[in-house]
Chain A
Amino acid sequence: MSDSGGGGQAPADLPLWAETRDAPEPDSGGGSGFRLIGKPQRKVDGLAKATGKAAYTDDISLPGMLHGKILRSPHPHARILSIDASRALALEGVHAVITGRDMPVRYGIIPWTPDEYPLCVERVRYIGDGVAAVAAVDEDTAIRALSRIRVDYQELPACLDPEEALAADGSEERPFIHEPRREGRNGNVTKRVELSFGKVDGRMAGAEVVVEGEYFFEGTTHTPIEPHCAIGRYDENGRLTVWSATQVPHYLHRELASVLGLDPATIRVVQPPVGGAFGGKSEPFDLEFCVARLAMVTGRPVKILYTREEVFYAHRGRHPFHMKYRTGADDEGRLQAVDAEVVLDGGAYASFGLVTTYYAGQLLTAPYAMPAYRFDSTRVYTNKPACGPKRGHGSVQPRFAFEVQLDKLAERLGMDPIELRRVNFMGSDTRTVNELRVTSNGFLECLDAVEKASGWRERFRRLPRGRGLGVAGSCYISGTNYPVYPNEMPQSAIQLQVDRSGRVAVLSGASEIGQGCDSMVAYITAEELGVPLEYVRVLAGDTDFTPVDLGAYSSRITFMLGNACIDAARKLRRKVQEAVAGDWECRPGEVQLAGGWAYYAPDTERRMPIAQAFNLAEARFGTLGATGWYNTPRDNHGDYRGGTIGASPAYSFTAHVAEVEVDVETGVVDVARIWVAHDCGRALNPVLVEGQMEGSVYMGFAEALMEEHIFKTASQGRAGLHNAPSLLDYRIPTSLDTPEIESLIVESIDPEGPYGAKEAGEGPLHSSIPAIANAIYDATGVRMDRLPFSPPNVWKAIRDAGGPRSLKPPRRRAAAPGESAHAGAATAGVG
């Protein structure tokens, strides 16, 4: 923990620059020892964004810049016989046309499954697959040029359904979407994982109750408001610069080098502010390769901006999951065995699918203790846009099914579902059945918080018919112990530079996508070096200037970059303390840096402005800078094939209670309110944490009630055509749709997180969906095992159940807080 706080009384005569609004008063930490951490602070990029000054990728315009467009396949599955671009090239204003033959190198975000080309070489695999790209003087000319490119296709049978894909045999009638990597295999199976822990069959047979269920999670997509955009520039020195709205500049850097056959040292990737991503910009896309290649061919900068329709086809969103669960428990509700079978509809390419297939099973094993667990998870190719990681990668779908299973279990046992979850709490400092190490765990406090805030005890199973409450819990990773490509180097790093004025520059490789990571490192730097927040400049997302961070995915940044930043700042702080101590002839530990000053701790009247302290340190040690880094514990994983996947340095925990009102005549569900409690370890800035919780709840609610990323079948007119590639038809919630959200922060103070922090960006999404499903059950007595809970689906479910029915309150109510048999309750408090 920080020891930079607690410096006694504030001198009345702070220097003017230290008296700025955000300069914390010394000893204002309320006993925590922190000056900034844990308190509401502004976002460092808030001003630029509130004044329209922030320049997103499409806001950048370079002299002589051309505009590119990508020609996309009209067929879900076809062989490319020939491409004739001569008429396009003949059009005035067209500078270049490229096809797959110009970049015939396979790539993929997961090094073991490279299965796509920037532009298709021989085969197209979904409607929207890129075939050729044009660079022209303006967008209109580029669009006209696309219509002049002639592509001859030989159509192939398309497969949209995962069951059909599994039945393919490679024949002409039922061709594989990708050729099998090994002969005799089904080329449509992209990954299969079968793992078993403990004696599943024996424990299931011995269980008092066994609940079986079949679930379907419809796919959804990220829908950031900013469409993907990239600009390429190739300069006279043979250096390539790509600006991109990406959340993984480092991986983009690597893939650009590999696909274009360039020395990575000649490539620079710049990530401007990103207008939302949610996992949808976490791997390279065709436009980034195309702007690079077109810039190299034409010698002029080239920009491509996706249309909204292209964003829908680019996808990489939530996989549709078909799931079967069997859950066994004893008569006290304690889990005995869980048996799962999951089929993931992967779309046309692998994307992160290898990881998704593991996550579909691996991340279900907390926060409940389960002595035996088995999952069989299969990801298949279909002729639709590729699925990938969306907020809560691979674990949102099984969490929906499993938390509904728990609700059914509680119903069967006549137990309060919150009590059932308490009984199964795994505790902190323990291991899951699949050997994942869990340290801090504030799940019980999360349950307590939502139970109390929602009035659960008085209201569950007691609301009038049509109204109901539902609960669910979940956990998520704070980054992964093992990076996407195997290497021993740090996962995250920071470089700090100190100016003689007292200003500190933070060079961060991490990707600010709205989640606030630039702000997070500014808070830490200001906290550790005692400078006001305005004196911290964060320069981020430029591979020429910033150290490597692996990207904004798997909820890794606060944990990893935060630790890296503390590491760098403390190296600098020690030098400053030592230099000032030399001047004051005291011990370095007696020098504290805070609020724009260096203090002598035993007598805080003795002080000097921080700039002077920095100058002393520079005189003594030379130019002041420091690098800091974080690497994950690599010896920490399950001892089996795949045991590294799901291993995280820390896990976050969440509980939701949702309140719904269901119109049983129409199937319309109104989610009135959601209470969410989230164990984020420590809230470095509680307002940012709440913002992540609110955004997560919103997005979970959206998936539960409204969103369906679906495609037409042949009988609907055209197989593989996106059903609704616009924001009119793909409905995302407006301010009127979104329920009231109450966020409750729980702090378990993680032993390894930066000041105890864990993730908050993805975990709080998970349990919102099953909480709503369980609330619909409380309201109607009808189970919703299929997403989304749209009026037709809910209406049909009620009709199929023979109408709504009333439910009895559980025989066994929840014990009062403190009465339940908590195993190893964390020292968490509700903030």
Chain B
Amino acid sequence: MATHQITVTVNGAAHAATVDSRLLLVHLIRDDLALTGTHIGCDTTHCGACTVLMDGVPVKSCTVLAVQADGAELGTVEGLAGADGMTPLQEGFQEEHGLQCGFCTPGMLMTGTALLESNPNPSEAEIREAISGNLCRCTGYVNIVKAVEYAAGKMGEGD
């Protein structure tokens, strides 16, 4: 089986890896880099539990090949919180009870992060549209929407 040398930057740190052509990005992240906050839910791009940021764009890492990520900047849930603590969106999920079982949460956080980056003050309809590729089976989405609104409000305060 053909292998490839790739370099990816994950949460700011560069990693070189030798990967099979068919290795999925989610397996590179979970198995090779041991970043297990990115979850696998469906194998077929529908649930969004495996969503990560690739050059700032949310992608479902179960349908991206690791070789396609060569040279890319990747962001996973582990990279959100920094020395200053959690991001406003993570705080929103905590404060607004945007999670129950928590399994979809990392994917929701990555999608929500990208949304707030491009649209710091989204309407409810825009939030629902943005997260519509991420399935949650626990919350009925009510508090996930509130969590994103919380983050937008908090980020707006700093302006």
Stretch of A112-120, A273-281, A808-816 contacting B (4+ beta carbons < 8 Å): A273-281
Q: Answer whether residue A695 sits at the interface, using C-beta atoms and an 8 A cutoff.
A: yes
Of A47-55, A78-86, A325-333, A560-568, the stretch lying at the interface with chain B is: A47-55
B40 at the interface (CB under 8 A from A): yes
A47-71 vs B, Cβ < 8 Å mask (1 yes, 0 no)? 1111111111011010000000000
B residues in contact with A222, CB < 8 Å: 137
Across the interface, do B136 and A51 meet the contact criterion of CB distance under 8 Å? no
Given contacts A694-B142, A726-B42, A738-B140, contact A55 B103 (CB under 8 A): no
Q: CB-nearest residue of chain B relative to A278?
A: B137
Q: How many residues belonging to B are interface residues under a CB distance threshold of 8 Å?
A: 55
Within B120-159, which residues are at the interface with A (CB < 8 Å)? Answer: 127-129, 131-145
- Is A51 a contact partner of B80 (Cβ separation < 8 A)? yes
Q: Is the CB of A50 within 8 A of B41?
A: no
Instruction: Judge whether A792 is part of the interface by a CB distance below 8 angstroms.
Output: no
**CA of A226 to CA of B138 in the docked complex: distance in angstroms?**
12
Chain A interface: which of B2-10, B66-74, B86-94? B86-94
Q: In whole angstroms, what is the CA distance A225 to B47 when docked?
A: 7
Which residues of A sit under 8 angstroms from B106, Cβ to Cβ?
52
Q: From known contacts A687-B97, A698-B139, infer whether A226 and B39 are also in contact, taking CB-CB under 8 Å.
A: yes
Asked if B49 lies at the interface with its beta carbon under 8 angstroms from chain A, I say yes
Contact of A688 among B41, B97, B133 (CB under 8 A): B97
Q: Is B56 an interface residue (CB 8 A)?
A: no
> Shortest 4 CB-CB distances between A and B: which pairs?
A52-B37, A514-B101, A275-B103, A49-B102
Extra 9 A-B pairs, beta carbons < 8 Å, given A224-B101, A225-B136, A273-B101: A50-B94, A53-B37, A225-B101, A275-B101, A276-B100, A728-B44, A735-B141, A735-B144, A738-B140
Say yes or no: A58 contacts B101, CB within 8 Å.
no
Chain A residues with CB under 8 Å of chain B are: 42-43, 45-56, 58-59, 61, 222-227, 273-278, 305, 307-309, 513-516, 687-688, 690-691, 694-695, 697-699, 726-728, 732, 734-736, 738, 741
B105 is an interface residue with CB less than 8 A from chain A: yes
Contact flag A46-B93 (CB < 8 Å), given A275-B101, A275-B102: yes
List, in ascending order, chain A residues with CB within 8 A of B117's CB: none
State whether A51 touches B86 (Cβ < 8 A).
Answer: yes
25 contacts between A and B (CB under 8 A): A42-B94, A46-B99, A47-B94, A49-B101, A49-B102, A50-B99, A52-B36, A52-B77, A58-B36, A222-B137, A224-B101, A225-B135, A275-B41, A276-B103, A277-B101, A514-B101, A687-B97, A691-B142, A694-B142, A694-B143, A699-B140, A727-B44, A734-B132, A735-B134, A736-B129
B43 at the interface (CB under 8 A from A): yes
Using A42-B94, A726-B44 as known contacts, say yes or no to A691 and B135 having CB atoms under 8 A apart: no
A738 close to B141 (CB less than 8 A): yes
| Interface Cβ pair total, 8 Å cutoff | 169
Report B40 CB to chain A, min CB distance, Å: 7
Given known contacts A50-B93, A51-B81, A52-B78, A727 and B102 CB-to-CB distance under 8 angstroms? no
Residues of B within 8 A of A695 (CB): 100, 137-140
In the complex, chain A residues whose CB is within 8 Å of the CB of B86: 47, 50-51
B91 to chain A: which residues have CB within 8 Å?
50
Q: Counting CB contacts under 8 A, is B38 at the interface?
A: yes
How distant is the Cα of A308 from the Cα of B41 in the complex, in angstroms?
Answer: 7
State how many angstroms separate the Cβ of B44 from the closest Cβ of chain A. 5
* Cross-chain contact of B99 among A49, A226, A728, A734 (Cβ < 8 A): A49
Please determine whether B132 and A735 come into contact, CB atoms closer than 8 angstroms. yes
Q: Max chain B CB contacts within 10 Å: which of A305, A726, A734, A735?
A: A735
Contact, CB under 8 Å: A727 / B36 = no
- Closest Cβ of chain A to B107, distance in Å, is 9
Judge whether B100 and A514 touch: CB under 8 Å: yes
In the complex, B53 has a CB within 8 A of chain A:
no
Q: Which residues of A contact B41 (CB under 8 A)?
A: 225-227, 275, 308, 727
User: Chain A's nearest CB lies how many Å from the CB of B42?
Assistant: 5
A281 CA to B35 CA, complexed, in Å: 26
The answer to whether B47 touches A727 (Cβ under 8 A) is yes
For the complex, give the distance between the alpha carbons of A267 and B106 in Å: 33
Contact present for B39 and A275 (CB under 8 Å): yes
Q: How far is the CA of A64 from the CA of B37 in the complex (A)?
A: 22
Tell me the complex Cα distance, A309–B42, Å.
8
Q: For the complex, give the distance between the alpha carbons of A734 and B130 in Å.
A: 11
Are B90 and A732 within 8 A (Cβ)?
Answer: no
What is the distance, in angstroms, from B24's C-beta to the closest C-beta of chain A?
Answer: 12
How far is A419 from B18 in the complex, measured between Cα atoms in Å? Answer: 70
CB-based contact A225/B132 at 8 Å: no
Find chain A residues with CB under 8 A from B78 CB.
Answer: 51-52
Given contacts A51-B78, A54-B102, A276-B103, contact A225 B137 (CB under 8 A): yes
Whether the pair B101, A732 counts as a contact (CB closer than 8 A) is: no
CB distance from B28 to the nearest CB of A (A): 14
The CA-CA distance from A277 to B128 in the complex, in Å, is 24
Contact of B137 among A47, A49, A223, A691 (CB under 8 A): A223
- Residues of chain A within 8 A (CB-CB) of B137 are 222-225, 276, 278, 695, 699, 732
* CB-based contact B132/A51 at 8 Å: no
User: A46-B94, A50-B86, A56-B39 known; A224 and B141 CB under 8 Å?
Assistant: no
- Whether A51 touches B37, Cβ cut-off 8 Å, given contacts A276-B101, A727-B47, A736-B128, is yes
A277 to B103, CA, bound (A): 11
Q: Do A735 and B128 touch across chains, with their CB atoms under 8 A apart?
A: yes
Q: List the A side residues contacting B36 at CB < 8 Å.
A: 52, 55-56, 58-59
Assembly CA distance A309 to B43 (angstroms): 9
| Chain A residues whose CB sits within 8 angstroms of the CB of B77 once the complex forms | 51-52
In the complex, the chain B residue whose C-beta lies closest to that of A513 is: B101
Q: Are A691 and B143 in contact (CB under 8 A)?
A: yes
CB closest chain-A residue, reference B34: A61
Q: Are A45 and B102 in contact (CB under 8 A)?
A: yes
CB distance from A226 to the nearest CB of B (A): 5
CB proximity of A772 to chain B, nearest CB, Å: 15
Distance in angstroms between the alpha carbons of A727 and B80 in the assembled complex = 28
Most B-side CB within 10 Å, residue of A51, A222, A226: A51
In the complex, which residue of chain A has the Cβ closest to the Cβ of B94? A46
A691 touches B139 (CB 8 A): yes
Judge whether B76 is part of the interface by a CB distance below 8 angstroms.
yes
By beta carbon, the residue of chain A nearest B127 is: A735
CB of B104 within 8 Å of the partner chain: yes
